Structure 1
Amino acid sequence: MPTAQPTLVFLHGFAESREVWTEFTRPFPAAYRLLAPNLLGHGTNLAPVPDFSMEAQARYVIDHLGRRNATEPVLLVGHSMGGYVALAVAQRYPERVAGLALINSTAYADTDEKRQNREKNIGFVERHGVDKFMDSFVRPLFAPANRDRLPEARALLEDIGKATPETTLVGGLRGMAARPDRTAVLRTARFPVLLVAGKHDVAVPLADSVAQAALAPVGTGLFLEGSGHLSYVEQPEATRRAVLALASAVFGQ
């Protein structure tokens, strides 16, 4: 049967899986229903994927909600690529969204330089394989002070990444490079929006997040001094408080 229980949907990033949310969501109140799907090609969701676009991932999220009988609007919490997917959901299915939290993510399209870097990463993966790529990919995502401070978290992300098929990495990189600018989703949002950003984020410049936090009619920004691109791991308490505050505003809990 459909459920009206307040539902939060956690969307992981590129080369991640639903496992990354386990520790972050453990303290969440039982009043909330928490869903964390593996996006297409990630984790255990390894059926053949013909389309790695953010739009295809958004359709998958909506299908996942249907299979879980989540018929009421949900709060989407997306990290990095998961935020791109959440924005695609909000653009195509705004009636399904009660709130939006973007963690180290952006509504801007890739710059030319960013697209070129993604192509370089594709070439590296195809030449050297997934393991070598992940050996160099994860560590710089942490703020410099956190790269050796959080070895277990770094090892988890590296292991998840190394278990991700090469086709998923290549398809995901191309899907992210092709995504359009979705700042209009923020400007026209009829739901509250939260942006969480790290000062040392090498993937999403802090200035971009500051600018976007002001776009939504009801927007909040959390700017973290001690985080890189992984705020939900690097400063989980502050990030969790911000997400719970958004959930409280959205659902009146």
Structure 2
Amino acid sequence: MAISSLKYKSAGRGPAVVFIHGFCEEKSLWKDFLNHLKGNYHVITPDLPGFGESPLNITPVSMEYFADEIRSLLKDLSVKECIMIGHSLGGYVALAFAEKYPEMLKGLGLFHSMAFADSPEKQENRNKTIQFIEKNGVAPFADSFVEPLFFMRNRKNLEREIQTMIETTRNTSIISIIETTKAMRDRKDRTDVLKTTQVPVLFIVGKDDGPVPLEKNLEQCYLPKHSVVHFFSDCGHMGMFEKREETLKAVEKYLELCG
């Protein structure tokens, strides 16, 4: 069996909980969650291929490929079932995992994420992003990409977090960014996964989230048989920072529900 090349942090004992970061992020995104939850859970925070410390070994990439890499890591760690929570891109990966390996899931969380495919307009915006990066490089993209993820009124108080994310994005390879942007653009609709899953589904929703608008969350949150939905006002796309205590509490209660 191939050994996973994913780098990760792992702490604690108990039911396994996997947190998957979003686009141009890395495993330290979840450090507060890992530190808080490790007393009762086996918390695993991987770097997706091409991000953080994990190498990008193949191109093109896809959500299915990312899901397979997470599965390989879990097999290496002898984890047979887990609760999986993904932020943004990480949610797309978690949905692909849920579709391919439903027997391994006890819970599924979409943390500022959605099951819908990109609209034609969004696909065109992805293409424009790729063209911009190919022409100008990663640094100008990083400088324009990160700040709008945060609700405007939160940006001043979260300057340190914003700067850290800008540096993380700047340190991500151009190939990883472009190939993953293509994979997000081309991903399939997975609303059927929400409709058919037998596990409780957590939705963390920022009412002022630009990338995942409130109306899209309202469309998807009723699809599972068992939904747990938290709406946060004055919150954009980065609730783990913008509503640090509130989102941590919401996740903790959800984990208790999943057993």
TM > 0.5 fold call: yes
* Structure 2 counterpart SS, 1:26: helix
| TM-score normalised by structure 1 residue count | 0.95
Amino acid at match of 2:32: E
- Of 193, 206, 213, 1:185 maps to 193
Deviations 1:121-149 (A, max 9, x none): 00111111111100000000000111111
* Structure 1 counterpart SS, 2:46: coil
Q: Report the equivalent of 2:99.
A: 91
* Structure 2 counterpart SS, 1:85: helix
Counterpart CA distance in 1 for 2:38 and 2:26 is 22
Deviations 1:86-144 (A, max 9, x none): 00000010001110110110000000000000000001111111111000000000001
Counterpart CA distance in 1 for 2:113 and 2:137 is 26
Q: Report the equivalent of 1:51.
A: 60
Q: Is contact 1:198-1:225 (8 Å) kept? A: yes
Q: Report the equivalent of 2:73.
A: 64
Identity of aligned residues (%): 36
Q: Report the equivalent of 1:159.
A: 167
- Of 189, 204, 207, 2:212 maps to 204
Aligned pairs for 1:1-253 within 5 A: 5-71=14-80, 73-251=81-259
Q: How many residues align?
A: 248
Counterpart CA distance in 2 for 1:152 and 1:52 is 31
Counterpart CA distance in 1 for 2:206 and 2:40 is 29
Q: Is contact 1:188-1:216 (8 Å) kept? A: yes
Q: Is contact 1:41-1:49 (8 Å) kept? A: no
Query: Structure 1 residues 109, 6: closer, same or farther in 2, change over 3 A?
Result: same
Cα RMSD of the aligned pairs, angstroms, is 1.3
Counterpart CA distance in 2 for 1:29 and 1:14 is 25
Amino acid at match of 1:8: V
Q: Is contact 2:206-2:239 (8 Å) kept? A: yes
Counterpart CA distance in 2 for 1:108 and 1:46 is 28
Deviation at 1:156, TM superposition (A): 1.3
Dislocated runs of 4+, deviation >3 Å = none
* Structure 2 counterpart SS, 1:27: helix
Counterpart CA distance in 2 for 1:188 and 1:47 is 32
Counterpart CA distance in 1 for 2:230 and 2:61 is 30
Deviation at 1:29, TM superposition (A): 4.6
Q: Is contact 2:20-2:86 (8 Å) kept? A: yes
Deviation at 1:4, TM superposition (A): 8.6
Deviations 1:33-69 (A, max 9, x none): 0001100111111243323200000000100101111
Q: Is contact 2:13-2:39 (8 Å) kept? A: no
Counterpart CA distance in 1 for 2:127 and 2:166 is 21
